[in-house]
Amino acid sequence: MSNIATIQLNSGPNTQANLLVVSDIFEQISKSKAKVVVLPENFSLMPEEDSEFLEKAEDDGQGNVQDFIRDLASKYKVWVVAGTIPTKTNNPKKVNATTYVYDDRGDTVYKYNKIHLFDVKLPDADESYNESETFEHGQVIKVIETPIGITGIGCCYDLRFPELFRMQLKDGVETFILPAAFTEQTGRVHWETLVKARAIENLCYLVTSCQDGYHISGRQTHGNTMIVNPWGQVLKRLQSGNGFIESEINRKQLQSIREKFPVLDHIRLLEK
Protein backbone atom coordinates (compact mmCIF):
# COMPACT_ATOMS: atom_id res chain seq x y z
CA MET A 1 0.00 0.00 0.00
CA SER A 2 1.28 3.46 -0.93
CA ASN A 3 0.02 6.98 -0.53
CA ILE A 4 -0.70 9.57 -3.18
CA ALA A 5 -0.86 13.35 -2.78
CA THR A 6 -2.74 15.51 -5.24
CA ILE A 7 -2.42 19.27 -5.59
CA GLN A 8 -4.98 22.01 -6.22
CA LEU A 9 -3.89 25.37 -7.66
CA ASN A 10 -5.11 28.71 -8.97
CA SER A 11 -2.54 29.16 -11.75
CA GLY A 12 -2.11 32.33 -13.78
CA PRO A 13 -0.10 33.58 -16.77
CA ASN A 14 3.18 33.98 -14.83
CA THR A 15 4.99 30.64 -15.03
CA GLN A 16 7.66 31.57 -12.49
CA ALA A 17 5.03 32.56 -9.91
CA ASN A 18 3.08 29.35 -10.55
CA LEU A 19 6.16 27.18 -10.07
CA LEU A 20 7.03 28.97 -6.84
CA VAL A 21 3.65 27.94 -5.43
CA VAL A 22 4.22 24.38 -6.66
CA SER A 23 7.63 24.29 -4.96
CA ASP A 24 6.15 25.42 -1.64
CA ILE A 25 3.46 22.75 -1.76
CA PHE A 26 5.99 20.03 -2.60
CA GLU A 27 7.93 21.06 0.50
CA GLN A 28 4.78 20.49 2.55
CA ILE A 29 4.13 17.15 0.85
CA SER A 30 7.68 16.02 1.65
CA LYS A 31 6.60 15.66 5.29
CA SER A 32 3.84 13.22 4.28
CA LYS A 33 3.92 9.54 3.29
CA ALA A 34 3.14 10.20 -0.37
CA LYS A 35 5.07 8.24 -2.99
CA VAL A 36 3.21 9.82 -5.94
CA VAL A 37 2.31 13.51 -6.39
CA VAL A 38 -0.17 14.86 -8.96
CA LEU A 39 -0.30 18.34 -10.51
CA PRO A 40 -3.38 19.80 -12.26
CA GLU A 41 -3.95 20.69 -15.88
CA ASN A 42 -2.14 23.92 -16.87
CA PHE A 43 -0.29 23.98 -13.55
CA SER A 44 2.55 26.08 -14.96
CA LEU A 45 0.53 28.32 -17.29
CA MET A 46 -3.09 29.49 -17.25
CA PRO A 47 -2.80 32.29 -19.81
CA GLU A 48 -5.03 35.23 -20.65
CA GLU A 49 -4.89 34.23 -24.34
CA ASP A 50 -4.46 30.69 -25.72
CA SER A 51 -1.78 32.01 -28.09
CA GLU A 52 0.54 32.04 -25.06
CA PHE A 53 0.47 28.24 -25.08
CA LEU A 54 2.11 28.41 -28.50
CA GLU A 55 4.65 31.03 -27.41
CA LYS A 56 5.69 29.15 -24.28
CA ALA A 57 5.47 25.58 -25.58
CA GLU A 58 8.47 23.39 -24.79
CA ASP A 59 10.17 20.74 -26.89
CA ASP A 60 9.14 17.25 -25.96
CA GLY A 61 11.64 16.02 -23.39
CA GLN A 62 13.33 19.31 -22.61
CA GLY A 63 12.38 22.70 -21.25
CA ASN A 64 12.43 24.80 -18.10
CA VAL A 65 9.14 23.48 -16.72
CA GLN A 66 10.02 19.86 -17.43
CA ASP A 67 13.43 20.32 -15.81
CA PHE A 68 11.82 21.95 -12.78
CA ILE A 69 9.47 19.02 -12.21
CA ARG A 70 12.23 16.47 -12.80
CA ASP A 71 14.27 18.21 -10.11
CA LEU A 72 11.37 18.11 -7.66
CA ALA A 73 10.84 14.40 -8.31
CA SER A 74 14.49 13.54 -7.71
CA LYS A 75 14.88 15.95 -4.78
CA TYR A 76 11.92 14.59 -2.83
CA LYS A 77 12.16 10.99 -4.12
CA VAL A 78 8.56 10.88 -5.36
CA TRP A 79 6.87 10.03 -8.62
CA VAL A 80 5.20 13.04 -10.23
CA VAL A 81 2.24 13.14 -12.61
CA ALA A 82 2.64 16.61 -14.12
CA GLY A 83 -0.41 17.57 -16.09
CA THR A 84 -0.31 19.50 -18.33
CA ILE A 85 2.60 21.19 -20.11
CA PRO A 86 2.20 22.67 -23.61
CA THR A 87 4.65 20.91 -25.93
CA LYS A 88 5.54 21.58 -29.54
CA THR A 89 4.19 19.59 -32.47
CA ASN A 90 5.12 19.45 -36.15
CA ASN A 91 2.43 22.06 -36.73
CA PRO A 92 3.68 25.51 -35.61
CA LYS A 93 0.07 26.55 -34.96
CA LYS A 94 -0.69 23.66 -32.61
CA VAL A 95 0.69 22.23 -29.37
CA ASN A 96 0.02 19.12 -27.32
CA ALA A 97 -1.43 19.23 -23.83
CA THR A 98 1.07 16.78 -22.38
CA THR A 99 0.95 15.08 -18.99
CA TYR A 100 4.39 13.74 -18.08
CA VAL A 101 4.97 11.02 -15.51
CA TYR A 102 8.38 11.08 -13.81
CA ASP A 103 9.76 8.46 -11.45
CA ASP A 104 11.57 9.23 -8.19
CA ARG A 105 14.85 9.73 -10.05
CA GLY A 106 13.31 12.33 -12.33
CA ASP A 107 13.29 10.03 -15.36
CA THR A 108 10.37 10.19 -17.79
CA VAL A 109 8.23 7.06 -17.52
CA TYR A 110 5.28 8.05 -19.70
CA LYS A 111 3.71 10.99 -21.49
CA TYR A 112 0.02 11.34 -22.25
CA ASN A 113 -1.29 13.85 -24.79
CA LYS A 114 -4.87 14.89 -24.01
CA ILE A 115 -7.24 13.06 -26.36
CA HIS A 116 -10.59 14.83 -25.92
CA LEU A 117 -10.47 18.58 -26.53
CA PHE A 118 -13.00 20.99 -25.05
CA ASP A 119 -14.83 22.66 -27.95
CA VAL A 120 -18.08 23.93 -26.44
CA LYS A 121 -20.35 26.90 -25.93
CA LEU A 122 -21.63 26.75 -22.37
CA PRO A 123 -25.42 26.93 -22.10
CA ASP A 124 -26.93 30.14 -20.72
CA ALA A 125 -23.51 31.76 -20.41
CA ASP A 126 -21.27 34.06 -22.42
CA GLU A 127 -18.48 31.52 -22.21
CA SER A 128 -17.07 29.32 -24.96
CA TYR A 129 -13.97 27.22 -25.53
CA ASN A 130 -12.28 25.87 -28.64
CA GLU A 131 -9.23 23.91 -27.52
CA SER A 132 -8.78 22.26 -30.93
CA GLU A 133 -7.75 25.63 -32.37
CA THR A 134 -4.62 25.48 -30.23
CA PHE A 135 -4.13 21.83 -29.31
CA GLU A 136 -3.79 18.60 -31.25
CA HIS A 137 -5.77 15.53 -30.23
CA GLY A 138 -3.68 12.87 -28.53
CA GLN A 139 -3.68 9.45 -30.16
CA VAL A 140 -2.22 7.02 -27.61
CA ILE A 141 -3.30 5.75 -24.21
CA LYS A 142 -1.83 3.02 -22.03
CA VAL A 143 -1.45 2.03 -18.39
CA ILE A 144 1.78 2.06 -16.39
CA GLU A 145 3.09 0.50 -13.20
CA THR A 146 3.64 3.09 -10.44
CA PRO A 147 4.13 2.90 -6.65
CA ILE A 148 0.32 2.95 -6.26
CA GLY A 149 -0.20 0.08 -8.71
CA ILE A 150 -1.36 -0.16 -12.30
CA THR A 151 -2.25 3.39 -13.28
CA GLY A 152 -4.10 5.06 -16.15
CA ILE A 153 -3.88 8.75 -17.05
CA GLY A 154 -6.61 11.01 -18.42
CA CYS A 155 -7.16 14.76 -18.51
CA CYS A 156 -10.16 16.98 -17.71
CA TYR A 157 -12.67 16.66 -20.60
CA ASP A 158 -11.68 12.99 -20.96
CA LEU A 159 -13.81 12.41 -17.87
CA ARG A 160 -16.98 12.64 -19.98
CA PHE A 161 -15.98 9.70 -22.19
CA PRO A 162 -16.38 6.46 -20.20
CA GLU A 163 -15.15 4.29 -23.06
CA LEU A 164 -11.66 5.76 -22.64
CA PHE A 165 -11.52 4.45 -19.07
CA ARG A 166 -13.18 1.13 -19.85
CA MET A 167 -10.60 0.43 -22.57
CA GLN A 168 -7.87 0.29 -19.93
CA LEU A 169 -9.47 -2.47 -17.87
CA LYS A 170 -8.00 -5.14 -20.14
CA ASP A 171 -4.56 -3.98 -18.98
CA GLY A 172 -5.47 -4.35 -15.31
CA VAL A 173 -5.83 -0.68 -14.39
CA GLU A 174 -6.38 -0.07 -10.67
CA THR A 175 -6.16 3.72 -10.32
CA PHE A 176 -6.99 6.53 -12.73
CA ILE A 177 -5.28 9.91 -12.36
CA LEU A 178 -7.05 12.90 -13.86
CA PRO A 179 -5.48 16.40 -13.90
CA ALA A 180 -8.21 18.93 -14.68
CA ALA A 181 -9.31 22.54 -15.05
CA PHE A 182 -13.08 22.00 -15.08
CA THR A 183 -15.25 25.07 -15.60
CA GLU A 184 -17.22 26.29 -12.61
CA GLN A 185 -20.57 26.12 -14.43
CA THR A 186 -20.24 22.51 -15.58
CA GLY A 187 -18.27 21.40 -12.55
CA ARG A 188 -20.92 22.58 -10.13
CA VAL A 189 -23.50 20.19 -11.61
CA HIS A 190 -21.47 17.39 -13.24
CA TRP A 191 -17.98 17.06 -11.73
CA GLU A 192 -18.57 14.93 -8.64
CA THR A 193 -21.14 12.72 -10.36
CA LEU A 194 -18.78 11.99 -13.25
CA VAL A 195 -15.77 11.32 -11.00
CA LYS A 196 -17.73 8.89 -8.85
CA ALA A 197 -19.27 7.22 -11.89
CA ARG A 198 -15.89 6.50 -13.51
CA ALA A 199 -14.62 5.04 -10.22
CA ILE A 200 -17.72 2.91 -9.57
CA GLU A 201 -18.24 1.52 -13.06
CA ASN A 202 -14.59 0.43 -13.31
CA LEU A 203 -14.14 -0.49 -9.62
CA CYS A 204 -11.04 1.71 -9.56
CA TYR A 205 -9.60 4.49 -7.49
CA LEU A 206 -9.90 7.86 -9.18
CA VAL A 207 -7.54 10.66 -8.19
CA THR A 208 -8.19 14.18 -9.47
CA SER A 209 -6.00 17.29 -9.37
CA CYS A 210 -7.79 20.54 -10.12
CA GLN A 211 -7.51 24.20 -10.87
CA ASP A 212 -9.77 26.29 -8.65
CA GLY A 213 -11.25 29.78 -8.51
CA TYR A 214 -11.10 32.95 -10.57
CA HIS A 215 -8.18 33.31 -12.98
CA ILE A 216 -6.69 36.44 -14.54
CA SER A 217 -8.03 35.30 -17.92
CA GLY A 218 -11.54 35.74 -16.57
CA ARG A 219 -12.12 32.02 -16.42
CA GLN A 220 -13.48 30.40 -13.27
CA THR A 221 -12.63 26.79 -12.48
CA HIS A 222 -14.50 24.47 -10.17
CA GLY A 223 -11.84 23.00 -7.87
CA ASN A 224 -13.13 20.17 -5.66
CA THR A 225 -10.04 17.98 -5.93
CA MET A 226 -10.98 14.47 -4.78
CA ILE A 227 -9.63 11.01 -4.16
CA VAL A 228 -12.43 8.46 -4.65
CA ASN A 229 -12.26 4.75 -3.89
CA PRO A 230 -13.66 1.88 -6.03
CA TRP A 231 -16.94 1.96 -4.09
CA GLY A 232 -17.49 5.60 -5.00
CA GLN A 233 -16.65 6.96 -1.57
CA VAL A 234 -14.75 10.24 -1.31
CA LEU A 235 -11.69 9.51 0.80
CA LYS A 236 -10.29 13.04 0.74
CA ARG A 237 -11.48 16.32 -0.73
CA LEU A 238 -10.13 19.86 -1.14
CA GLN A 239 -13.13 21.97 -2.04
CA SER A 240 -11.33 25.24 -2.75
CA GLY A 241 -7.99 27.03 -2.48
CA ASN A 242 -4.37 26.08 -3.06
CA GLY A 243 -3.06 23.02 -1.26
CA PHE A 244 -3.03 19.25 -1.36
CA ILE A 245 -4.79 16.17 -0.07
CA GLU A 246 -3.32 12.74 0.59
CA SER A 247 -4.72 9.23 0.82
CA GLU A 248 -3.65 5.63 0.83
CA ILE A 249 -4.30 3.52 -2.26
CA ASN A 250 -5.24 0.12 -0.86
CA ARG A 251 -4.73 -2.40 -3.65
CA LYS A 252 -5.70 -5.38 -1.46
CA GLN A 253 -9.03 -3.77 -0.68
CA LEU A 254 -9.54 -3.02 -4.38
CA GLN A 255 -8.93 -6.65 -5.33
CA SER A 256 -11.25 -7.80 -2.55
CA ILE A 257 -14.05 -5.59 -3.85
CA ARG A 258 -13.54 -6.89 -7.39
CA GLU A 259 -13.62 -10.50 -6.21
CA LYS A 260 -16.70 -10.14 -4.03
CA PHE A 261 -18.57 -7.87 -6.45
CA PRO A 262 -17.44 -9.22 -9.85
CA VAL A 263 -19.21 -6.67 -12.05
CA LEU A 264 -16.23 -6.41 -14.37
CA ASP A 265 -16.48 -10.12 -15.14
CA HIS A 266 -20.04 -9.60 -16.32
CA ILE A 267 -19.29 -7.13 -19.10
CA ARG A 268 -21.01 -8.16 -22.33
CA LEU A 269 -20.31 -6.10 -25.42
CA LEU A 270 -22.71 -6.99 -28.21
CA GLU A 271 -22.00 -6.39 -31.85
CA LYS A 272 -24.66 -4.99 -34.16
The string of pLDDT tens digits covering residues 129-161 is 889 999 999 999 999 999 999 999 999 999 999
Catalytic residue, chosen from 94, 131, 136, 156, is 156
Annotated active-site residue 114? The verdict is yes
- Per residue, what are the HEC states of the chain? CEEEEEEEECCCCCHHHHHHHHHHHHHHHCCCCEEEEEECCCCCCCCCCCHHHHHCCEECCECHHHHHHHHHHHHHCCEEEEEEEEEECCCCCCEEEEEEEECCCCCEEEEEECCCCCEEECCCCCCEEEHHHCECCCCCCCEEEECCEEEEECCHHHHHCHHHHHHHHHHCCCEEEEEECCEHHHHHHHHHHHHHHHHHHHCCEEEEEEEEEECCCCCEEECCEEEECCCCCEEEEECCCCEEEEEEECHHHHHHHHHHCCHHHHCCCCCC
Catalytic residue, chosen from 41, 58, 184, 248, is 41
Catalytic residue, chosen from 114, 174, 196, 204, is 114
Write down the pLDDT at residue 130. Answer: 84
Write down the pLDDT at residue 203. Answer: 98
Low-confidence ranges of the chain (pLDDT < 70): 124-127
Q: Which domains does the chain have, with CATH numbers?
A: 2-259 (3.60.110.10)
Annotated active-site residue 145? The verdict is no
- What would the pLDDT profile of 31-60 be if each residue is shown by its tens digit? 999 999 999 999 999 998 888 999 999 999
Annotated active-site residue 133? The verdict is no
Write down the pLDDT at residue 126. Answer: 67
Write down the pLDDT at residue 217. Answer: 80
